[in-house]
């Protein structure tokens, strides 16, 4: 028989593939209320079904049924990588719902079970009838933080973490340890999960090899300016909470490859004010929605990374926004002939499709753009293979 220790509470337990049996001593329950306790052992969301096997003045034994394919959190977390542990930490936030409620979950890695995508609590207490009794927010938060720290650092001892003796060294765990509310922890987890998702997705999108052939002007000129509105994606902003929500929302759409929704979500945000990571995802989304061929997109994506300079990212962002004059100005600032030609192509197509523009002015502009396009076409024809778009 094993033990589960949570702060000052020690519960004896035995766990098999189909049940967890809890043994309570006389000082851990009120016999007069045990019969009513059975009502709280029926099937309910987040809780295993339980049954009182023995109830007398000396002991109470409760058996909680679990699926044989389920795992205790203690077993499960050791199989996960750092990112999946982070997601699991976010999933246990349902525990905060039971603060100051009649039913109090016994928070311990051995008492939480994962079955598929769902989490279940085994033993729980009720008011002042069965331990754990109703606790203060301070005590409950302390236990909750210890559980999160254990999930993130499963090599540490859970009981030591509750007592404050567990040594956490990484900055993120320290922030959780220092948090003073459930809301603060939720926000911290949400932001960190979003950041890590973006990094993982960005890695999968990036073309690994940079030894590629850059796109040629001939096929670029066939591209039509079909993109609308502004574009944006990212994870979070340290300054504006509404923007933070939009960025996180857009990032989730980006992960699902819903690039148009990404653009629409952040259409009101100024690209220059977004964090670098958000600018990168914005640029990638813009490229994905551009009318380039698949090969051209792969080639361009290979020149873009989170280490690219701001102008390279902003160029593609404004291409996606349909602000081709702005993109052209940025391209000239960069000095990249391919970017300049691509922007001129977009400006030419938009001008050519404008049926409301004064006729003579339109022809004047088209002639000017055509002349510039021919100029950069000639420059690109003489470009050597090792000349790449600047990052």
pLDDT in tens, 110-119: 999 999 889 9
Q: What digits encode the pLDDT tens for the residues 65-99?
A: 999 899 999 999 988 988 899 999 999 999 999 99
d(CA 378, CA 385): 15
Mean pLDDT of 290-294: 84
Backbone dihedral angles phi then psi of residue 15, each to the nearest 5 degrees: -120, 135
pLDDT at 250: 66
Angstrom distance (rounded) from CA 180 to CA 198: 27
Query: Measured in Å, how far apart are the chain's first and last C-alpha atoms?
Result: 62
* Paired strand residues for 13: 2, 22
Strand, coil or helix: what is 8?
coil
Q: Map residue 298 onto helix, strand or coil.
A: helix
29 and 131 in contact (C-beta within 8 Å)?
A: yes
* Burial tier of 246 (Cβ tally within 10 Å: 0-12, 13-18, 19+): buried
Contacts of 28 (CB under 8 A, 6+ apart): 9, 11, 60, 130, 131
In terms of Cβ atoms closer than 10 Å to its own Cβ (0-12, 13-18, 19+), residue 126 is buried
What is the pLDDT confidence band of residue 27, given thresholds at 50, 70 and 90?
A: very high
Residues 157, 172: Cα–Cα separation, whole Å: 18
**For residue 62, what pLDDT is reported?**
96
The per-residue pLDDT for range 147-159, each reduced to its tens digit, is: 999 999 998 889 8
Q: Where are the beta strands (DSSP E) in the chain?
A: 2-6, 9-15, 19-25, 50-55, 59-65, 71-72, 103-105, 112-115, 118-121, 124-126
Q: Is the pLDDT of residue 384 over 70?
A: no
For residue 126, pLDDT over 70 is answered with yes
How does strand 124-126 pair with strand 103-105? Answer: antiparallel
Which one is predicted more confidently, 255 or 133? 133
- Confidence check: pLDDT of 349 > 70: yes
Closest CA to 262 of 238, 283, 242, 241: 283
| Residue 280: C-alpha distances to residues 234, 274, 330 (Å) | 8, 10, 16
Q: Which residue has the higher pLDDT, 115 or 263?
A: 115
Q: What is the mean pLDDT of residues 224-246?
A: 45
Which residue do the tokens 């073309």 mark?
207
Provide the pLDDT for residue 89: 95
pLDDT at 52: 95
- Alpha-carbon gap, residue 338 to 376, rounded angstroms: 8
Confidence bin at 276 (pLDDT 50/70/90): confident
CA–CA dist 64, 50 (Å, integer) = 4
Q: Is 6 helix (H, G, I), strand (E, B) or coil?
A: strand
Nearest to 194 by CA among 232, 243, 234, 231: 234
Give the bridge partners for 118, in sequence order: 115
In order of start, what are the domains of the chain with their CATH numbers?
2-180 (1.10.510.10), 197-381 (1.25.40.680)
CB atoms within 10 A of CB 276: 12
Q: Is the pLDDT of residue 379 over 60?
A: yes
* Segment 249-275 mean pLDDT: 76
> Does the pLDDT at position 122 exceed 50?
yes
Which of 177-186, 214-223, 329-338 comes out lowest in average pLDDT?
A: 214-223
Give the three-class secondary structure for 302.
Answer: coil
Q: Could you give the percent of the chain with pLDDT greater than 90?
A: 41
What is the predicted pLDDT for the residue at 186? 92
Closest alpha carbon to 105 in 131, 87, 76: 131
Q: Please check the confidence at residue 239 and state whether its pLDDT lies above 50.
A: no
Q: How confident is the model at residue 238 (pLDDT cuts 50, 70, 90)?
A: very low
pLDDT of residue 198 exceeding 50, the answer is: yes
């Amino acid at each position: 028989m094993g033990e589960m220790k949570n702060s000052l509470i020690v519960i004896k337990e035995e766990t098999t593939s189909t049940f967890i049996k809890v043994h309570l001593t006389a000082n851990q329950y009120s016999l007069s209320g045990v019969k009513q306790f059975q009502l709280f052992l029926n099937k309910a969301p987040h809780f295993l079904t339980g049954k009182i096997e023995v109830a007398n003045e000396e002991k109470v034994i409760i058996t909680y049924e679990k699926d044989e394919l389920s795992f205790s959190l203690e077993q499960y977390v050791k199989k996960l990588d750092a990112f999946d542990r982070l997601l699991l930490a976010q999933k246990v936030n349902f525990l905060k719902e039971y603060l100051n409620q009649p039913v109090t979950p016994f928070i311990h890695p051995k008492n939480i079970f994962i079955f598929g995508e769902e989490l279940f609590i085994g033993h729980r207490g009720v008011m002042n009838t069965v331990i754990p009794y109703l606790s203060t927010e301070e005590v409950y938060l302390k236990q909750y933080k210890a559980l999160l720290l254990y999930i993130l650092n499963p090599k540490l001892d859970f009981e030591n973490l509750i007592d404050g003796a567990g040594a956490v060294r990484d900055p993120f765990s320290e922030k959780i340890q220092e948090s003073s509310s459930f809301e603060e922890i939720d926000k911290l987890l949400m932001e960190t999960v979003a950041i890590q998702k973006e990094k993982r997705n960005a890695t999968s999108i990036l073309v690994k090899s940079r030894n590629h052939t850059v796109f040629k002007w001939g096929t670029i000129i066939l591209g039509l300016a079909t993109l609308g509105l502004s574009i944006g994606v990212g994870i979070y902003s340290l300054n504006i909470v509404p923007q933070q929500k939009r960025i996180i929302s857009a990032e989730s759409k980006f992960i699902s490859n819903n690039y148009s929704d990404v653009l629409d979500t952040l259409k009101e945000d100024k690209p220059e004010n977004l964090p670098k990571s958000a600018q990168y995802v914005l640029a990638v989304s813009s490229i994905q929605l551009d009318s380039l061929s698949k090969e051209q997109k792969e080639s361009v994506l290979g020149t873009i990374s989170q280490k690219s300079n701001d102008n390279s990212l902003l160029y593609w962002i404004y291409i996606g926004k349909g602000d081709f004059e702005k993109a052209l100005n940025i391209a000239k600032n960069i000095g990249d002939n391919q970017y300049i030609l691509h922007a001129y192509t977009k400006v030419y197509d938009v001008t050519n499709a404008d049926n409301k523009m004064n006729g003579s002015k339109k022809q004047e502009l088209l002639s000017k753009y055509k002349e510039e396009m021919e100029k950069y076409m000639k420059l690109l024809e003489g470009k050597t293979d090792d000349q790449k778009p600047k990052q």
